[in-house]
Amino acid sequence: MRIGIIGATGWLGSALGKRLLELGLVAAEDLVLLNRSGPRPDYHGHDRVSWAKDPSDLARQVDVVVLSVRPQDWPALDLRAEDRLVLSFMAGVRGEALSVCGGRVVRVMPNAAAEIGQSYSPWWSASELSGADRATVTQVLSAIGASDELDSEDQIDLMTALPGSGAAYPALMAVAMAGFLRERGVAEQIAWRSAEAAVCGGAQLLAGRIAEAPAMVAAYRDYRGVTAAGLEAAEEAGFSRAILRALEAATEAARKLG
Ligand SMILES: NC(=O)C1=CN([C@@H]2O[C@H](COP(=O)(O)OP(=O)(O)OC[C@H]3O[C@@H](n4cnc5c(N)ncnc54)[C@H](O)[C@@H]3O)[C@@H](O)[C@H]2O)C=CC1
Ligand SMILES: O=C(O)[C@@H]1CCC=N1
């Protein structure tokens, strides 16, 4: 299978290219790239990848086109990809708009954990796909983590808010937590290590059993210790409401892009 990435040196395009090569899901000779700044002598340690002249030149050379440019760059992108499977990572750009490229279009919503192979990348097919196409989508996305097919395009806007936001909200929480300790005289490094223990260590404790999160919250509440006091104050201050509001605003922003 030959794969092409448009936006190959951007945040997500680069992560996908790196992981495809690292895992051997594509040989360097079968990877065709396009960016705005032009060919590079080295792409994640490989010099035998190909660089296309333009989007349609890329599409001509591959079976699967991954579109990883910003939504605002889509209108000027002249992509003709008849008979190709086209995976768009773009937030907001609808399947109907994408279909002008002539390919079999799939909208995918990965996240920044792609670079460590931990993206969850739900996708929705805007075109009729064969079983082989579906297997190809799953195989390509396996380079950056796990994936699931969605029932409707509307859900892509929800997925753009979550999980598309990736590390954004955990990072926001870490900043607030470390700030709390720093402002109270705790050394910088200790403050960050403490935030990491809560955000990353806590997340690892829940990994693979996230549906047990309500039980975890209940366990701390029922303990009736200091964390219970903290949880109560957080809810009084609107913690869960703030998260819901953030996800609503992000979903709305994704809808408005379309
Ligand atoms: N960064 C993230 O966490 C997520 C991003 N996305 C979506 O993925 C897409 C890519 O996002 P990022 O990688 O973050 O953006 P980015 O800005 O890091 O990368 C986009 C790349 O596309 C290149 N580009 C723009 N126009 C081009 C053209 N005509 N030909 C070739 N290259 C071109 C840019 O130079 C840039 O390097 C966006 O549409 C975004 O909505 C989706 C989920 C998460
Ligand atoms: O913030 C953004 O627009 C990109 C798309 C979804 C997540 N990150």
Residues 185 and 213 in one domain: yes
CA of 115 to the centre of ligand 1 (A): 14
Q: Is the CB of 111 under 6 A from ligand 1?
A: yes
Question: Atom 1 (ligand 2): residue with closest C-alpha?
Answer: 165
Question: Atom 31 (ligand 1): residue with closest C-alpha?
Answer: 35
Q: 3's torsion region: left (phi>0), alpha (psi -120 to 50) or beta?
A: beta
Identity at 128, one-letter amino acid code: E
CATH number at residue 248: 1.10.3730
* Per-position pLDDT tens, the chain of length 258: 999 999 999 999 999 999 999 999 999 999 999 999 999 999 999 999 999 999 999 999 999 999 999 999 999 999 999 999 999 999 999 999 999 999 999 999 999 999 999 999 999 999 999 999 999 999 999 999 999 999 999 999 999 999 999 999 999 999 999 999 999 999 999 999 999 999 999 999 999 999 999 999 999 999 999 999 999 999 999 999 999 999 999 999 999 998
Cα separation, 46 vs 53, whole angstroms:
19
Q: Is the CB of 71 under 6 A from ligand 1?
A: yes
Which residue ranges have their beta carbon within 6 Å of ligand 2?
91, 160, 164-165
Residues 126 and 187 in one domain: no
Cα separation, 2 vs 51, whole angstroms:
13
Residues 13 and 100 in one domain: yes
Last residue within a domain, chosen from 160, 195, 230: 160
CA of 148 to the centre of ligand 1 (A): 22
Residues 242 and 154 in one domain: no
Residues 26 and 133 in one domain: yes
Cα separation, 94 vs 96, whole angstroms:
5
Structural domains of the chain, count? 2
Of the candidates 121, 152, 161, the one whose C-alpha atom is nearest the C-alpha of residue 138 is 121
Residues 13 and 134 in one domain: yes
Of the candidates 41, 51, 48, the one whose C-alpha atom is nearest the C-alpha of residue 8 is 51
What is the number of the ligand 2 atom nearest to the C-alpha of 70?
A: 3
Cα separation, 255 vs 93, whole angstroms:
9
Q: Which residue range is the domain that position 182 belongs to? A: 168-257
Cα 243 to chain centroid, rounded? 19
Q: Is the CB of 143 under 6 A from ligand 1?
A: no
Quote the pTM value: 0.97
Question: Atom 4 (ligand 1): residue with closest C-alpha?
Answer: 111
Residues 136 and 32 in one domain: yes
Strands (E), 7-162: 31-34, 50-51, 64-67, 85-88, 104-108, 119-120, 123-125, 145-146
> Looking up tokens 């990736």, which residue turns up?
166
Residues 216 and 245 in one domain: yes
Last residue within a domain, chosen from 112, 138, 160: 160
Ligand nearest the Cα atom of residue 67: 1
Tokens describing residue 15: 């992560």
CB 109 within 8 A of CB 164: yes
CB 133 within 8 A of CB 104: yes
φ and ψ at residue 43, rounded to 5 degrees: -125, 105
Question: Atom 35 (ligand 1): residue with closest C-alpha?
Answer: 36
Mode of pairing for the β-strands spanning 3-6 and 31-34: parallel
